[in-house]
Amino acid sequence: QDFFTESNQKLALFNDFLSTPKQIVITTHQNPDADALGSSLGLSAYLKKKGHFPIIITPTDYPDFLRWMSGESEVINFESDRQDLAKKLIANADMIFCLDFSALNRIKGMEEFVKQSAAKKVLIDHHQQPENFADFVFWNERAAATCELIYELIEKLGDKHLIDVPAAECLYAGLVTDTGSFRFDSTSEEVHRIAGELISIGIHPNTIHRKIFDSNTFDRMKFLGFVLGEKLTYLPEYNVAYMAISKEELGRFSSKNGDTEGVVNYGLSIKGVVMAAIFTEKDDMIRISLRSVDNFSVSEFSRTHFNGGGHKNAAGGRSHESLEKTVEKFLSLLPQYKDELTNS
C-alpha cells in the first residue's frame, strides 16, 4: 500500500526541506483540466497553511468551467502579459512542483525555464512513462487522479486536518473528472475512500458536479448537436467511432477553449465501441483525444503514431499535418489493429 515509488527516507528528506518557509512554484500541463488545476490549487492551499509561499503558473489558459475553484484568480497564465513575472518566479523558486504530467514538453513554453531553474523539482503524477527530471517523485500509474496522490501525500505527512472545504472541493473535482464521475476502470476503493473523507470535510458532491458539468452555454449545446448529428462517424467493422472538427466549424458556434472537452466520450458510449477519437484543428496543430475500453491501450497507440501518451484508456496526441491527412493516417492504421479492436 506504499503509493510512492520512493522510500520513506526520501519522504523524510522532502519533509525536512519543507520545514522552513519556501518560495514554491506549482505547475501543471497545458490546457489544464479539473485534475490538473484542482491538484495544483489543493496543494497550494495546503502549502500556504504550512507557512510557504506557493504560486501556480499554468503553461496556457484553462476553460471557464474551472473558474469557481478557490484560489483560481491568483493563478498566473504563462501565455499572458505576466510572463516576465512568471519567469522570475520560476528562476527564483526553492521548489517546483510538477503536477499531472510527467513529460516536460507538456508545459509548452515553460519547459526551458523549468529545466534551467535551480529549484528542487517534485513530480506528482499518474501518467504512463514518466521522464526522469525530478528530485522527488510521487508517481503511481494506478492512481485515478493526481488529486488522489495529493491527498495521500498530505495524509502521509500527517496533515489531513489542514485540508479545508475550499481545498477539498478542488481535490474532489479532480477525482470526479478523471474517473468520469466514478465510472472508469480507475475507480478504486481508494478513490471512494478519499471521496468519502472529502465529503466528511464538508464538500457537497452535487454542487461540485453541477459546477463542472452543468455550466454549458447554449452555443455549446448547439455545437454538441452539430457534432453528434453531422460529425460522428461509426465504423462497426473496427469498433471505432471518431469525429474531426475544423477551425471553421468551431468558429461557427463561437466555440471556446474547453467546448470539445468530454465530447470524445460520446463516441465511446456507442454499444460495442472499443476506441473513440476526436480530432480538433487548432492554430498550429491538430489535437487528438483518444478513449478506449478494457485492454486496448490508446496511450500506446498515441505514443506510437501521434506524438502523445497518457493512460491506457484515455490519451492525447498531436499532428502537424492537415486535419484531412491526420484522419487519413488514423484510418490507414486501423487494419493493423483490427484483431485487437474486435476480439476484446
Q: Draw the binding track, 22-61, toward ligand 5GP (x: CB under 6 A; -: no contact).
A: -------x--------------------------------
Binding piece for Mn ion, criterion CB under 5 A, among 48-56, 97-105, 131-139, 264-272:
97-105
Burial 164-181 (b: 16+ CB within 10 A, else e): eeebbbbbbbbbbbbbbe
Between the CA of residue 17 and those of 11, 13, 120, 197, what are the distances in Å?
10, 6, 9, 28
Contacts with 343 (C-beta within 8 Å, 6 or more apart), sequence order: none
Say how many C-beta atoms besides its own lie within 10 A of residue 152's C-beta: 20
By CB under 6 A, residue 267 contacts ligand 5GP:
no
By CB under 6 A, residue 308 contacts ligand 5GP:
yes
Say how many C-beta atoms besides its own lie within 10 A of residue 53's C-beta: 14
Q: Per DSSP, what are the bridge partners of residue 300?
A: none
Compare residues 120 and 127 and give the one whose CB is closer to ligand 5GP.
Answer: 127
Distance in angstroms (rounded) separating the CA atoms of residues 148 and 144 = 7
By CB under 5 A, residue 35 contacts Mn ion:
yes
Distance in angstroms (rounded) separating the CA atoms of residues 35 and 146 = 6
Nearest distance from C-beta of residue 199 to ligand 5GP, angstroms: 25
By CB under 6 A, residue 144 contacts ligand 5GP:
no
Binder of residue 292, out of Mn ion, ligand 5GP, none (CB less than 5 to 8 A by kind): none
Between the CA of residue 282 and those of 59, 226, 242, 293, 323, what are the distances in Å?
16, 19, 17, 27, 10
Region 180-199 residues binding Mn ion, contact defined as CB under 5 A: none
By CB under 6 A, residue 312 contacts ligand 5GP:
no
Compare residues 71 and 317 and give the one whose CB is closer to ligand 5GP.
Answer: 317
Copy the grid coordinates of residue 251: 468558429
Contact with ligand 5GP (CB under 6 A) among 154, 194, 310, 326: 310
By CB under 6 A, residue 63 contacts ligand 5GP:
no
- Burial group, residue 147, by CB count within 10 angstroms (0-12, 13-18, 19+): buried
Residue type, 190: E
Contact with Mn ion (CB under 5 A) among 94, 148, 169, 178: 178
Contact with ligand 5GP (CB under 6 A) among 103, 149, 173, 194: 103
- Burial group, residue 265, by CB count within 10 angstroms (0-12, 13-18, 19+): middle
Between the CA of residue 26 and those of 44, 121, 188, 252, 269, what are the distances in Å?
8, 10, 27, 36, 35
Contact with ligand 5GP (CB under 6 A) among 286, 315, 327, 341: 315
Binder of residue 127, out of Mn ion, ligand 5GP, none (CB less than 5 to 8 A by kind): ligand 5GP
Nearest distance from C-beta of residue 321 to ligand 5GP, angstroms: 16
Contact with Mn ion (CB under 5 A) among 94, 100, 148, 152: 100
By CB under 6 A, residue 145 contacts ligand 5GP:
no
Query: In angstroms, how far is the first alpha carbon of the chain from the final one?
Result: 30
Nearest distance from C-beta of residue 275 to ligand 5GP, angstroms: 13
CB 128 within 8 A of CB 101: no
Nearest distance from C-beta of residue 309 to ligand 5GP, angstroms: 3
Binding site for ligand 5GP (CB under 6 A): 29, 103, 106, 127, 289, 308-311, 314-317
- Residues of the shown chain interacting with Mn ion in the complex, contacts defined by CB under 5 A: 35, 100, 146, 178
